[in-house]
């Protein structure tokens, strides 16, 4: 036989060419990304070839596809599908049937990644990220942190799977479909992977290996351990022998071989038009068990790829994949119901979200809301804590914090809907009634005392009353004892009379302050004159005391240092502030800027108005600049760093007011009876959940919120977190 050879064009030649017998592989062009087919042939112009096999998976323009080029020359040309391609297409079909939308494909070499990209792309509806492990380990972990895919597909050996699971156990969790593509022949016994949750396995059985290695050998005497090499290598080796036998049958003398020469593409010399069909029939005839099939310029691997589902140690056959039939499901197999998984972003903002001091778990209104939405939408989630709600960062204007967090799917927090934020994210239907800002101060302490009535009159008045009482009692005794007209000095005139001893005189003076009076007055005219004057004094003192007491109690009950925001801005005794870098600070800053802009517009309007424009003649600026004053006071008082510092400052200073979020302030006031709310909320705005722009979850979440509203879910939550425990 002459020099009959096969021209092999293979991007992955470094791996697969070694599988061919010596002399079968002539071309190694793995360094060229887009090789020119004419140049490929010209480089081998000294050789005589019988057939060309193409193992590449380049996505080419139809006008430059190799088969079209070789068809014009009538040169036998075949594109070859190998077990590696069957693995990728099989698991892609599996993930598609499982309603997957995105996934990670992880390989252990760059050559496998390159071929995997060209095999899968263009024939799938699933978005994949192609990654190499361990070279891209940090990138893989970063992708897991930012996005949880529908499925994770890993290509390698069982030992490589074990190493990956052990090194990355924190990401190998039951949050996604895990599919293991075996780059080795496996027996039907369960794999020994340290995974407790369900997963899929795609592999070629050891019987396939034994059939490829020696079709005449009893498969029971062969095992997967006896197959040295991966399925693609063993298949290509077998393909080489089948092709050699077919060529020896149809062209034993090499007469149908052709020489690749440096002639232009339109060279009139062409091969035998019927030789390609004859060769395909010979390949199919020489292939035992149809392991190698040639059809329409393509050679395919037609042994089944087995796909199995492992759940709690038990195995279920999903189906088998072949190039010709695709993935055929096992009758009766139903994909397990896997809940969707999302990352929910939260911010430490009591009572919406806070950490339980005893258990260390996150609790609060938003956590309960997340649970309610998860139950309605049937998904599982993890919490991702962000540092604040976020703000625009110069110079590119991107957001930080929760607004700019790319790791989350849903933001469940006390998110105020603003037009500025809506430029970057999409808000869902509001879940909480209008909230805003409110003022809080320390509750005035009322001092209770048995002698509080003494404070109605000044000390000097009380001393004068005491002096008048003593003097009256002494004078009454003196007059009754020494007056010749007194009853005790005229006993014959008065049969019964009251004797005013010193003791009785003081008792009379004291009881004169009571409604009943002091009793029987003296009989002498001098004594009666004294008593009359004293009674006038008593009436005046009682009237004064009663009036002062009523006024004192009324003023004390109505006393309040601040009534509302306008009153707060108009006084100077009470200082006030807000949390730095907060919604309150932004509100007052923007309102102050608005007042400044209005003033400048009014100023420019009046200065440029003609002298005849009487409507602009006013004595003062007609708009009160309240927010400019408030903003300046806040700046001078130094904004507090956080909410806790603000409330602590209120409790330590009777003349300090803290302006903060209304819902959060009410929660704190209901828990701390030493605080009180001032006025009504202002700058009201609704709270809403948020998702990334264009996220299809927006409609589903809105529907879940509406369902919760009909069940009075939000009223129950509000009663749980905003119920006062203070007396009165």
Long-range contacts of 482-490 (CB under 8 A, 24+ apart): 483/524, 483/526, 483/527, 485/523, 485/524, 485/525, 485/526, 486/522, 486/523, 486/524, 486/527, 487/522, 487/523, 487/524, 490/523
For 136, list phi and psi in degrees, rounded to 5: -110, 35
Q: Is 624 annotated for ligand binding?
A: no
Q: What one-character DSSP code corresponds to residue 573?
A: S
For 525, list phi and psi in degrees, rounded to 5: -65, -40
Provide CB contacts within 8 A for 192, sequence distance 6+. Answer: 158, 162
Provide CB contacts within 8 A for 220, sequence distance 6+. Answer: none
Provide CB contacts within 8 A for 244, sequence distance 6+. Answer: 24
CB 191 within 8 A of CB 224: no
Q: Is 579 helix (H, G, I), strand (E, B) or coil?
A: strand
Q: CA-CA distance, 683 to 694, in Å (whole number)?
A: 29
Closest alpha carbon to 77 in 222, 294, 290, 239: 294
- Residues comprising the chain, all counted: 728
Residue 200 CB-density burial (10 A; 0-12 exposed, 13-18 middle, 19+ buried): buried
Query: CA angle, 233 as apex, 24 and 287 as ends, to 5°?
Result: 70
Query: CA angle, 489 as apex, 483 and 490 as ends, to 5°?
Result: 120
What is the pairing mode between strands 354-355 and 362-363?
antiparallel
Closest alpha carbon to 402 in 425, 428, 429: 425
Q: CA-CA distance, 98 to 151, in Å (whole number)?
A: 9
Q: Is the peptide bond before 213 cis (omega within 30 degrees of 0)?
A: no
Q: CA-CA distance, 334 to 437, in Å (whole number)?
A: 54
Query: CA angle, 111 as apex, 44 and 181 as ends, to 5°?
Result: 130
Provide CB contacts within 8 A for 395, sequence distance 6+. Answer: none
Q: CA-CA distance, 523 to 535, in Å (whole number)?
A: 16
CB 295 within 8 A of CB 76: no
Closest alpha carbon to 152 in 128, 168, 132: 128
Residue 125, strand partner residues: none
End-to-end CA distance of the chain: 111
Q: CA-CA distance, 208 to 213, in Å (whole number)?
A: 9
What is the pairing mode between strands 340-347 and 102-107?
unpaired
CB 699 within 8 A of CB 433: no
Query: CA angle, 460 as apex, 459 and 461 as ends, to 5°?
Result: 90
Q: Is 92 annotated for ligand binding?
A: no
Q: Count other Cβ atoms within 10 Å, centred on residue 5.
A: 19
Annotated binding site for L-glutamate: 421, 661
Binding site members? 421, 661
């Amino acid at each position: 036989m002459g020099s009959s050879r096969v021209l092999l064009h293979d991007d992955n030649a470094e791996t697969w060419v070694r599988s061919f017998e010596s002399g079968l592989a002539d071309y190694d062009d793995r360094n060229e990304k887009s090789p020119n087919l004419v140049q490929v042939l010209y480089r081998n112009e000294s050789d005589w070839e019988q057939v060309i096999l193409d193992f590449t998976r380049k996505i080419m323009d139809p006008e430059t596809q190799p088969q079209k080029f070789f068809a014009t020359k009538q040169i036998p040309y075949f594109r070859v599908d190998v077990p590696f391609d069957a693995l990728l297409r099989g698991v892609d079909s599996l993930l598609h049937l499982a309603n997957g939308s995105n996934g990670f494909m992880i390989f252990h070499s760059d050559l496998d990644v390159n071929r995997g990209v060209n095999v899968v792309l263009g024939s799938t509806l699933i978005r994949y990220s192609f990654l190499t492990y361990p070279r891209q380990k940090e990138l893989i972990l970063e992708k897991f942190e930012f996005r949880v895919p529908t499925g994770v597909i890993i290509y390698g050996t069982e030992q490589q799977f074990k190493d990956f699971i052990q090194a990355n156990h924190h990401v190998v969790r039951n949050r996604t479909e895990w599919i293991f593509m075996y780059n080795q022949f496996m027996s039907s016994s369960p794999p020994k992977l340290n995974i407790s949750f369900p997963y899929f396995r795609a592999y070629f059985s050891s019987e396939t290996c034994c059939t490829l290695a020696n079709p005449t050998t009893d498969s029971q005497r062969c095992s997967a351990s006896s197959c040295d090499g991966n399925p693609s290598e063993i298949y290509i080796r077998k393909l080489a022998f089948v092709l050699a036998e077919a060529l020896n049958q149809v062209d034993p003398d090499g007469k149908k071989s052709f020489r690749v020469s440096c002639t232009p593409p339109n060279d009139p010399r062409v091969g035998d038009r019927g030789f390609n069909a004859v060769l395909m029939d010979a390949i199919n005839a020489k292939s035992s068990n149809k392991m190698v099939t040639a059809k329409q310029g393509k050679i395919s691997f037609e042994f089944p790829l087995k796909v199995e589902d492992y759940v709690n140690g038990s195995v279920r056959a999903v189906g088998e994949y072949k190039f010709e039939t695709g993935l055929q499901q096992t009758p009766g197999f139903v994909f397990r119901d896997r809940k969707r998984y999302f990352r929910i972003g939260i911010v430490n903002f009591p009572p919406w979200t806070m950490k339980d001091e005893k258990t260390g778990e996150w609790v609060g209104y938003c956590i309960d809301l997340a649970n309610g939405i998860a139950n309605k939408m049937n998904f599982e989630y993890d919490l991702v804590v962000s540092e604040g709600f976020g703000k625009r960062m110069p110079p590119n204007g991107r957001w930080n914090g929760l607004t700019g967090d790319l790791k989350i799917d849903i933001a469940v927090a006390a998110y105020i809907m603003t037009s500025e934020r809506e430029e970057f994210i999409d808000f869902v239907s509001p879940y909480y009634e209008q909230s805003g800002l409110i003022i809080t101060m320390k509750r005035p302490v009322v001092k209770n005392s048995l002698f509080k009535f003494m404070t109605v009159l000044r000390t000097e008045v009380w001393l004068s009353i005491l002096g008048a009482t003593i003097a009256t009692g002494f004078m009454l005794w003196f007059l009754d004892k020494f007056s010749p007209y007194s009853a005790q000095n005229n006993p014959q005139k008065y049969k019964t009379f009251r004797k005013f001893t010193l003791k009785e005189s003081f008792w009379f003076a004291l009881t004169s302050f009571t409604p009943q009076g002091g009793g029987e007055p003296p009989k002498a005219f001098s004594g009666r004159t004294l008593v009359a004057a004293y009674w006038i004094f008593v009436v005046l003192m009682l009237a004064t005391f009663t009036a002062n007491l009523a006024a004192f109690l009324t003023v004390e009950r109505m006393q309040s240092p601040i009534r509302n925001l306008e009153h707060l801005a108009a006084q100077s005794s009470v200082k006030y502030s807000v949390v730095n870098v907060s919604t309150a600070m932004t509100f007052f800053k923007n309102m102050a800027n608005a007042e400044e802009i209005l003033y400048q517009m009014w100023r420019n309007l009046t200065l440029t108005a003609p002298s005849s424009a009487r409507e602009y003649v006013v004595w003062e600026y007609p708009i009160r600049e309240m927010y400019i004053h408030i903003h300046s006071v806040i700046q001078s008082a130094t904004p507090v760093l956080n909410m806790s510092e603000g409330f602590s400052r209120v409790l330590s200073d009777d003349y300090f007011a803290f302006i903060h979020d209304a819902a959060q302030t009410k929660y704190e006031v209901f828990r701390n009876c030493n605080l009180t709310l001032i006025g009504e909320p202002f700058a009201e705005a609704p709270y809403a959940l948020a998702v990334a722009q264009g996220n299809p979850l927006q409609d589903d979440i809105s529907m879940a919120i509406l369902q919760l509203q009909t069940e009075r879910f939000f009223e129950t939550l509000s009663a749980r977190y905003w119920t006062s425990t203070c007396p009165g």
